[in-house]
């Protein structure tokens, strides 16, 4: 009977925490949608796991931007971006995405698990604490595939990259209190009379190990389970978790599950201890 958890918050609130996706260009001649653009809704008015939301915006220069947002029951969003080019000329656009946040630094500093910016780039886990980024400081990576976002004790957000080569990742502290992680994908050439597309996934939900492992297999997300801080002994702690979870579901009491697990571990180690 606990209240709903409000994980994200709009830009103008006390502690903003939001994701943004779209397109960039190399010059200013192409008018692109921004935070002031008014999109038109096509079809259903409500985003649910069974009904996606489709938005359209035209720039007045022959470009129509179409955004389709879908979500599943566990808050994995899929953002399909399309650009219809009827401008009379070929254009090149860069897909981008970002997650911006003004976190509660005090609570995260006292946590025993990692709270801050986290991600897997080129199959390697990267963790950056808030205190490690001074005002105006940034860190940059290049990666083929992976994911990145913000991690709390029980919740996290992340954008999931496709497998295009050398996507640029940037983590920075913009003003001393606001942190951002963003990516810039490879350019997409959209010839006149054709449609350019880009697809991104974005997760904002709970750190449930079985769910993260399922996404790893279904969506080919590398090491998505590392959003959970298993520590240095990952190769032991994750199997231990699965054993404890099994015992808990079997017994129905976590205290007894821990005691039984300790007894089983003692039994397995008895020959070595006896020797």
What's the pLDDT at 94? 95
% of the chain residues with pLDDT over 70: 98
Residue 68 — pLDDT band, cuts 50, 70, 90?
A: very high
Q: What is the pLDDT of residues 105-152, one digit of tens each?
A: 766 656 778 899 999 999 999 999 998 888 888 999 999 999 999 999
What's the pLDDT at 243? 87
What's the pLDDT at 179? 95
Q: What is the mean pLDDT of the chain?
A: 91
Q: What is the pLDDT of residues 168-212, one digit of tens each?
A: 999 999 888 999 999 999 999 999 999 999 999 999 999 999 999
What's the pLDDT at 110? 63
Q: What is the pLDDT of residues 8-35, one digit of tens each?
A: 999 888 889 999 999 999 888 899 999 8
User: Read out DSSP for the chain?
Assistant: -PPPP---B-TTSSS-EEEEEEEE-SSSSS----TT--PEEES-SS-BTTB-EEEEEE-SSSEEEEEEEEE-TT-EEEEEEEEEE-SSS-EEEEEEEEEEE---HHHHHT-SS--EEEEEETTEEEEEEGGGS-TT-EEEEEESSEEEEEE-SSEEEEEEE-S-S-EEEEEEESSSS-EEEEEE---EEE-TT-EEEEEEEEEEEE--HHHHHHHHHHH--TTGGGGS---TTHHHHHHHHHHHHHHHHHHS-HHHHHHHHHHHHHHHHHHHHH-
């Amino acid at each position: 009977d606990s209240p709903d958890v409000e994980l994200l918050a709009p830009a103008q609130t006390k502690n903003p925490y939001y994701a943004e996706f779209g397109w960039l260009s190399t010059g200013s001649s192409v008018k692109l949608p921004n935070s002031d653009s008014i999109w038109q809704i096509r079809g259903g008015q409500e985003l649910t796991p069974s009904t996606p939301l489709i938005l359209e915006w035209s720039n007045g220069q022959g470009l129509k931007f179409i955004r389709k947002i879908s979500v599943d029951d566990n808050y994995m969003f899929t953002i399909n971006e399309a650009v219809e080019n009827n401008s009379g000329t070929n254009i090149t656009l860069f897909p981008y995405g970002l997650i911006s946040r003004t976190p509660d630094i005090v609570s995260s500093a006292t946590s025993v698990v990692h709270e801050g910016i986290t991600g897997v780039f080129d199959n390697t886990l990267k963790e950056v604490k808030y205190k490690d980024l001074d005002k105006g400081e940034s860190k940059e990576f290049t990666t083929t595939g992976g994911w990145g976002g913000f991690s709390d004790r029980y919740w996290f957000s992340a954008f999931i990259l496709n497998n295009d080569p050398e996507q640029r990742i940037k983590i920075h502290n913009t003003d001393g209190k606001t942190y951002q992680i963003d990516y810039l994908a490879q350019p997409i050439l959209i010839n006149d009379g054709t449609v350019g597309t880009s697809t991104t996934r974005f997760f904002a939900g709970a750190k449930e190990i079985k769910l993260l492992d399922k996404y790893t297999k279904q969506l080919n997300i590398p090491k998505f389970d590392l959003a959970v801080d298993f520590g240095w002994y990952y190769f032991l702690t994750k199997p231990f978790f699965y054993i404890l979870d099994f015992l808990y579901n079997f017994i129905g009491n976590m205290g007894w599950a821990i005691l039984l697990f300790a007894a089983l571990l003692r039994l397995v180690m008895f020959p070595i201890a006896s020797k």
